Amino acid sequence: MVGVSIALHLQKRGRDVVLVDRRGAGEETSYGNSGLIQRGGVIPYTFPREFGVILSYAMNHRSDVVYHLSALPRLAPWLFRYWQNATPERIGRSAQALAPLMAQCEAEHDALIAEAGDAAGALVQRKGWIRCLRTEESLRRAIADARRLDKYGVDYTVLGGARLHELEPHVSEKVIGAIHFRGSPTSFDPGMLTKAYADLFVRRGGRFLNGDARRLTQENSGWSLPSASGPIIAPEVVVALGPWSDDVFLPLGYDIPLAVKRGYHMHYRARGNATLSHPLHDGNGGYMLVPMSKGIRLTTGVEFADRDAPPSPIQLNRDELLARGLFPLGERLEPAPWMGRRPCFPDMVPVIGRGERHPGLWFAFGHAHHGFTRGPLVRQRPRSSTAIRLTLGCPKRKLVIRRPAPVVVASRWWPGALGHRRDRQRSANSASTEPLCEHRRHPRCHLRGDRRMAVDDAAHMLTGDPAGLGEGGD
C-alpha cells in the first residue's frame, strides 16, 4: 500500500515513475490485514509498564501477544527500546507526530477510491468498527482509552449491550458493552483495494515491473536495478519494502531499528444464518473478526519472532477458541493460515525521508499496525514552504530544518526516473548543506558522516507539523 500510494502521488506531480515489486501489488502485508482505515490509531501500541502485566506476557500464554523464546536474544535490544518508548512523555511525542497523518487518512483514501472508480468503492464500507468488552472493568478501561482520543477528533460512541445486539444480533450475550469507532471506513478486501490503486497507476501510464530490490546498485548516473523487462536506471529511488526494507538499507550501511510484529489470519464461514456486518475487535482477547469478501477473517494480535522463521500459528488456535465464544463461527475455509509482518520502530513512528548518505535515496517504511491506513499519506504535503521537523532520539531538543518539503517516496522498491523536471531541480536546490543535528556530539544524533542514519527509537522525518489501546487492535 505504501509504495503504490507514493507512486500515484509522484505520478500526479508529473514524474516518470516505475514501481518494482518481486510479486504483484498488494500481495504481502497489505493483503492480509484487518482492512481498517483506522482514523483512531493515533496513540501507539506500547510495551506494558506494570509488573503484573509484564509477568503475564512473560508467561507466553496470552492471546494478544506471544513470542518465540529462541528469538529473544536477537529481539532484546529492540524490545528494550520499545519499553523505553512506553513512558507517557514518549507516547505523547509519538502521538503528536502521528496525529496529523491520521487526521487525513480518510480523506486521502477517499480521493484515491474516487479516482480508482466503482470497483474500488465497492471494496469499502462506512459503518466503522466495534471493540467488544465482556467485563465492567475492561469496558471502563476501553472508555478511558477512547477518551484519550477526544483531542484528536476521533469519532466514537459507547454502546450498551442492547444497542450492540441491535447492530450485531449474533454477537454473544456475554459482551456487555462496546466502543463503536464510527469514523473509520473498512475494506472487505485490502489486497484488492491496493491492487485497484496500482491499476489506477498503470492506467495513467505508470510502469509496474517485477524485480528484486536487493539487486539495486548505485552508479554514476543514479540508481540501477535489473528487472524482468531490462535494467531500470533512475536518479532517485524510494525504498518502501515494508518489513523487508532492511534487505536494502542494511547493505547500504544504515543502522535503523526496524523489527517486525508478526500476525496471522484465517477465514471462516458463519454458522447457520449468523451474519456479521461490522469488524469486531475482542477487547479482552486482542484479535479481530472482520467480514471480508472471502469469509469472516480472524486476524491475530502480535507474535514476536524472527521475520523469516517458519509460521507457528499457536496464537490463531487460542484466538479461534475465544472467537467461537464471541460469534458463531463455522469451519475454516483455508488449509493453512496466512502470516504477515508489521514493520515496526520502537516508538511506532515510521521513517519517511532521505537516506542521508546517498543522494537520490529515500525511505518510506515502518508503518507498523497502521500501514494500510497511512499508505496514501506518505507524500509531500501541499504547503510547499513548511519546515520539516525531524523527530530524533535526541533528548535535548527537536530539530527543525528550514527548507521546502521534499518529495517523499515509494513502495517496495522503486526506482522512479525523476530527472529533467522542475521538481528535480527544486529538490536539488533545496537540499540542505547545513548539519542536520546541532548536537553532533550526542551519540544518537549522527546524521551526517556516520554510518547511522538517524537513530535511537527510530529515525523519523515527518512532513508537516508534528503535533494503546493494547496490542492487536488492528
Looking at residues 9 to 28 of the shown chain, list those that interact with ligand FAD (rule: CB under 6 A).
20-23, 27-28
| 473 makes contact with ligand FAD (CB under 6 A) | no
Phi (first) and psi of residue 256, to 5 degrees: -120, 130
Of residues 177 and 376, the one with the C-beta less far from ligand FAD = 376
Q: Which of 9, 35, 100, 355 binds ligand FAD (CB under 6 A)?
A: 35
Shortest Å distance, C-beta 366 to ligand FAD: 8
Q: Which of 11, 94, 299, 391 binds ligand FAD (CB under 6 A)?
A: 299
* CA 328, chain centre distance (Å): 30
Of residues 327 and 414, the one with the C-beta less far from ligand FAD = 414
| 127 makes contact with ligand FAD (CB under 6 A) | no
Here's the x/- map for ligand FAD, 373-412, by CB under 6 A: it reads as: x-x-----------------------------------xx
User: At 220, which amino acid appears?
Assistant: N
| 313 makes contact with ligand FAD (CB under 6 A) | no
User: At 118, which amino acid appears?
Assistant: D
Q: How far apart are CA 306 and CA 22, in angstroms?
A: 21
Of residues 356 and 471, the one with the C-beta less far from ligand FAD = 471
Grid cell at residue 360: 537520490
Instruction: Give the C-alpha distances (Å, rounded to integers) separating 183 from 40, 151, 274, 328, 355.
Output: 8, 15, 25, 27, 35
Looking at residues 189 to 248 of the shown chain, list those that interact with ligand FAD (rule: CB under 6 A).
212-214, 240-244, 247
Shortest Å distance, C-beta 283 to ligand FAD: 15
Within 305-453, strands assigned E span 329-332, 338-344, 351-354, 361-365, 388-391, 399-401, 412-417
| 30 makes contact with ligand FAD (CB under 6 A) | yes
Grid cell at residue 31: 493483503
Of residues 367 and 379, the one with the C-beta less far from ligand FAD = 367
Of residues 198 and 390, the one with the C-beta less far from ligand FAD = 198
Whether 269 and 330 have beta carbons less than 8 Å apart is answered as: yes
**Residue with nearest beta carbon to ligand FAD:** 371
Cell 477487547, residue located: 283
Of residues 311 and 404, the one with the C-beta less far from ligand FAD = 311
Of residues 350 and 444, the one with the C-beta less far from ligand FAD = 350
> With the C-alpha atoms ordered 18, 24, 25, 30, is the resulting torsion angle positive or negative?
negative
The residue count for the chain? 474
3-state secondary structure of 224: strand
Binding residue count for ligand FAD, defined by CB under 6 A: 44
| 1 makes contact with ligand FAD (CB under 6 A) | yes
Here's the x/- map for ligand FAD, 253-292, by CB under 6 A: it reads as: ----------x-x---------------------------
Phi (first) and psi of residue 27, to 5 degrees: -115, 5
Q: Which of 177, 295, 346, 371 binds ligand FAD (CB under 6 A)?
A: 371
Q: How far apart are CA 298 and CA 60, in angstroms?
A: 20
- Count CB neighbours of 342 within 10 A: 23
Grid cell at residue 469: 489501546
Shortest Å distance, C-beta 449 to ligand FAD: 29
| 465 makes contact with ligand FAD (CB under 6 A) | no
Instruction: Give the C-alpha distances (Å, rounded to integers) separating 430 from 6, 406, 421, 433.
Output: 21, 8, 14, 9
Interaction site with ligand FAD (CB under 6 A): 1-3, 20-23, 27-30, 33-36, 38, 212-214, 240-244, 247, 263, 265, 299, 340, 342-343, 365, 367-373, 375, 411-413, 474
